[in-house]
A and B are shown apart, each in its own frame.
Chain A
């Protein structure tokens, strides 16, 4: 089944935040943000700006009736800077006027003087100075200290990983409309409606019940609108609250890029020990997460780095410590993978470096250490592993050894063009690691004309969650898809929502929908049984008809629904779902945090032009553990898109802050995401086709985040290609592998 939005998408008829018809009298807002990364505000004078024709009012922290605070996990983030600025891009004031154009003119007239303080941009510097978001955390398994003596090989290293700009094509934005009695309706391009709702309530000092947040869809989110959509909605609400007029703020791309956080850059130290059979006996890692100026979601992101620090391998002795380091960058935030990719990159870097030192192929170490069912993760959960199955199927289909041999032959024959290959197996845990977030509600209505409406907490952002939820309802009621409509996500219909994140939305909201539909179905069957004078257990509803004992009756869906209504039986249901199996004890760092894991294996090949340092990714061939995919088009699309986004992160996407903490890659002209020419020439995806039971909706495993991590293989494929040209080079582990780094490494030492 196609994404249900396809028809309106291709016609340009889908409505995004910026397309919502404006009410008469709507005003426009824009933030004045700090041009300095760290400093003390000495002067803020907007008298001239406020006199500009068309400007209605300028707001600062002084206008906040409640708390000047938007931090979600830790209350450490001001909406407006009061005395100090902590990152370049931090909002200081909000300017509101009759058109976006007048804002542009007036913004230039605001006088903002800031006394500059030393900005920290390096997480290791922050850690040394004790600038931490929270206490460090350590995951432990076995005893690393005593394991080293059993190791034949011990390899240490440093790994640098840059961040990533979300670059949803729709920028952040919100539109707040005052309602009667001080209430607000807020359209927000957010993945987390309740965060928006509760933050507006606390900033304005009104109750959550007075804040209706509504989201139809996002033009891409990728985690960037999980927590960071909140500020804009709060700003619009603050202005709407005071002015009693609708206020809209749709960010310009450059505002979005400089004011919002990104995927966290990390710096990490690692030490890995293997025995002579290449079994990894011990692994030690210290992660320095560059959190930015406030917590945002960094504590949870850091936690997931630890959860995934051994990727898909069983390592009996592990000590992994992570520091969330406070720097003067915009608060870094959720991004597809949520810290997991950074954790997995470091273990893969350790294996790659070990392979280079021992002089074996990294794949040999990877394969020898794959998780088996029953193996323990460092956090205590036992694996239900598909790691070997995925690897084996991939090897059977793609012939790893032959692939490598073809590359070696090519490299012998070609002097100025070299190829490289890497295998990237993955294991990714599904669930919010904060256990309480694993709950969802679904409100299902059946109308008297037989049409069905479903409301959940899930936010559609291209990942197809609404399509899957629709499939759940249509399957359970056994009606055509056309009968089902998925409503916008709205805090007046669904309360206390968990964000659409962690790949969980289809599972949590789908299962809640499944329960709600089954409940209504039970009532429909009861009514049908009474009408047809049989037992409800004999009733089946199939293809829009009531069936008894495998025989179709004359009672159809429309009549049954109408009859149910006439009998005054409830045709609506609000259902609640939470997976029972999960728990985690943060005091011990042990538990069973994930409902299940997703596995897969990819082979990635790349070609380098050794004269120019440019490269192409030739192929990504994957065996992926979909469970039993309930929607091939959606799931394959998530896989392909995730892979290319992961490759972008590892290759051309380079966040560039100068030492003053100012973002230099601040536009699409300076920050490059993959275009159609840079996508791999071939992406092949095979399903594992396992029949194993799992806890996913309809056994169809979550697919949003895991495929991104196949992209990590691109980094190591390029690294191997460089070594084919310059075998003695000691390539620093420093992602992304830009053309600059490729060229510098190709000619390192050769030039000297």
Chain B
């Protein structure tokens, strides 16, 4: 999948496909809506299909009441991931299996998840409940081991205001009991009557649709100037720019050729459609960066990670973009393509000012590359927010050190929330180079850091707090290395 697609192929103008029907499976049936029928999958399932089980709670991916499952073919089998339908452009459903709560209902009885929720008193007002049910149904359909931790992670994007979650936790215990011996998940849930039988027919249907999908992509693979947005996962655009999303945009999410994680020698390449979850499940990443699971668990929630792309996080240019911060420390390079030209710049030179990028409107990040950590590399990511999970950082920071014989050979330190852009702390990084790690070095790094940040007070904390916090987080980065 490391192929390097031609630049024309990035452009998917919606107006070319406005008159071309999309094609996907919604629960048990195939549907072919026009892209203009609804902006988001949420609006399509509620307003067009009249499936009211999927609820509207926030329209910004922060409550999970609208969670759906999205199934696609991966290595010959159907892989289901949860996503928030409020932030999912309808075109991104193309070629997929979309599952709403109605799609996990048996006609006359409750499924395993539903029965466990009901028996545990895990539903009170009920408004968030379908989201929980769908997320947990996705957990049953996943390859994950039936552990408490995995079950809870499956619902980390679902907010409940009534129960306090303890009854929901008890429901997951009941569910886990019944998932013992799960091997081939789809076969398992159908055989054990955990989910409706039609799930076993989806693979074949998706394969058929996949053929048609290809031809549709051929139709729309033509360059078109001045597209308004390149839409990746849409997880921020559909929050911040919702009103503008009716315009003709280019949608990258479904482009398989743009979704690659590859490795040449020690350099890792990421395609622009790579999501956070793709990274979390990539063997290349988990081998080279075993802590990546823990780092990325601090970033949004399972359904959002299933949609959000790394390139999107870069381009969004939020001063506290978690992956901008992470990859700044790693000194990632980004390749920018437009019809006229192609160039490569370091991510560290990408940010010019608040939400200002070194990128023209028609340029797209076509590839991200970075050196994978070696055995001499120390890599750490810290993020503090009001709520530990599914929150935006007050301050986040990453550090990448190459250490030989106790001396820092190369240092990359980045921090978010302390300036108008995701900051590479150049002075502090330079300061660290050539130093031994001891308390003096830590103090010196903190003093240097204070000369290059300019935090402002806002809803995520006062300037004084952010300064103190970054100071503490630099300690958190470096203290584990003391006495080594």
Contact = CB atoms under 8 A, between A and B. Distances in A.
Contacts of B51: 12
Interface of B is mostly: loop
B129 interface: yes
B384 A739 contact: yes
Nearest to B390: A675
Interface in B144-203: 152, 155-156, 158-169
A7 B246 CA distance: 38
Interface string A590-624: 00000000000000000000011110000000000
A704 B203 CA distance: 48
A222 B160 CA distance: 13
Nearest to B56: A18
Interface in B101-144: 101-102, 105, 110, 113-115, 117-119, 121, 123-130, 133
Contact of B57 (A3, A253, A464, A613): A253
Query: Among A250, A462, A679, which residue has the most Cβ atoms of chain B within 10 A?
Result: A462
Given A637-B124, A679-B164, A170 B57 contact: yes
A24 interface: no
A345 B293 CA distance: 40
A361 interface: no
A363 interface: no
B118 A637 contact: no
A744 B114 contact: no
B384 to A, nearest CB: 6
Given A2-B118, A217-B126, A612 B53 contact: no
B164 A170 contact: no
A101 B43 CA distance: 11
Interface in B331-372: none
A417 interface: no
B389 A667 contact: no
A12 B159 contact: no
A220 B133 contact: no
B210 to A, nearest CB: 29
A656 B460 CA distance: 10
Contact of B164 (A634, A683, A743): A683
Contacts of B216: none
Interface stretch (B70-78, B408-416, B421-429, B471-479): B471-479
B52 interface: yes
A12 B124 contact: no
Given A10-B110, A168-B125, A169-B127, A668 B465 contact: no
Interface in B286-336: none
A516 to B, nearest CB: 27
Contact of B392 (A6, A669, A739): A669
Query: Among B152, B386, B469, B472, which residue has the most Cβ atoms of chain A within 10 A?
Result: B386
Contacts of A669: 60, 62, 239, 391-392
Given A612-B382, A740-B461, A252 B59 contact: yes
Contact of B465 (A170, A614, A744): A744
Contacts of A194: none
A461 B469 contact: no
Contacts of B58: 253, 667-668
Given A640-B163, A743-B465, A743-B469, A676 B168 contact: yes
A643 B53 contact: no
B124 A464 contact: yes
B336 to A, nearest CB: 29
B69 interface: no
Contacts of B169: 676
A676 B55 contact: no
Interface string A621-663: 0000000000001101100111111000000101010000000
B243 interface: yes
A673 interface: yes
Task: Give the size category of A's interface with B.
Answer: 35 or more
Given A12-B54, A675-B159, A751 B468 contact: yes
Contacts of B54: 12
B416 to A, nearest CB: 15
Given A10-B110, A11-B53, A612-B382, A219 B476 contact: no
B60 A667 contact: yes
Given A7-B110, A462-B162, A667-B62, A641 B469 contact: no
B458 interface: yes
B386 A654 contact: yes
Contacts of B65: 169
Query: Among B65, B166, B464, which residue has the most Cβ atoms of chain A within 10 A?
Result: B166
Contacts of B239: 669
B63 interface: yes
Interface in A15-58: 15-16, 18-19
Contacts of A170: 55, 57, 125, 127
B162 A740 contact: no
B443 interface: no
A272 B386 CA distance: 33
Query: Among A171, A645, A664, A739, which residue has the most Cβ atoms of chain B within 10 A?
Result: A739
B59 A253 contact: yes
Given A12-B54, A613-B384, A677-B388, A645 B164 contact: yes
Interface in B227-247: 239, 243, 246
A672 interface: yes
Interface in A660-691: 664-665, 667-670, 672-679, 683
Interface in B433-480: 458-462, 464-465, 468-469, 472-473, 475-476, 479
Contact of B53 (A5, A7, A13): A13
A101 B146 CA distance: 43
A747 interface: yes
A14 interface: yes
Interface in A221-280: 221-222, 250, 252-253
A366 interface: no
A167 interface: yes
A464 B51 CA distance: 26
A9 interface: yes
B127 A12 contact: no
B118 A641 contact: no
Contacts of B82: none
B92 interface: no
A383 to B, nearest CB: 29
B472 A11 contact: no
A614 B166 CA distance: 22
Contacts of B380: none
A242 to B, nearest CB: 26
A104 interface: yes
B62 A668 contact: yes
Contacts of A220: 125, 127, 161-162
A18 B43 CA distance: 12
Query: Among A217, A220, A464, A613, which residue has the most Cβ atoms of chain B within 10 A?
Result: A220
A438 interface: no
B394 interface: yes
Contact of A740 (B59, B105, B382, B465): B465
A15 B459 contact: no
Query: Among B119, B125, B387, B391, which residue has the most Cβ atoms of chain A within 10 A?
Result: B125
Contacts of A654: 386
10 contacts: A2-B121, A10-B117, A16-B55, A221-B125, A664-B459, A668-B63, A672-B386, A675-B390, A676-B160, A744-B464
Interface of A: 2-3, 5-16, 18-19, 101, 104-105, 167-171, 217-222, 250, 252-253, 461-464, 611-614, 633-634, 636-637, 640-645, 652, 654, 656, 664-665, 667-670, 672-679, 683, 738-740, 743-744, 747, 751
The 7 nearest A-B residue pairs measured at CB: A12-B53, A462-B125, A219-B127, A644-B164, A9-B126, A462-B124, A668-B62
Given A9-B118, A219-B128, A640-B164, 18 more contacts: A9-B123, A10-B115, A14-B126, A169-B159, A170-B55, A219-B125, A219-B127, A220-B125, A462-B125, A612-B476, A634-B121, A641-B162, A668-B60, A672-B385, A676-B152, A678-B388, A740-B394, A744-B468
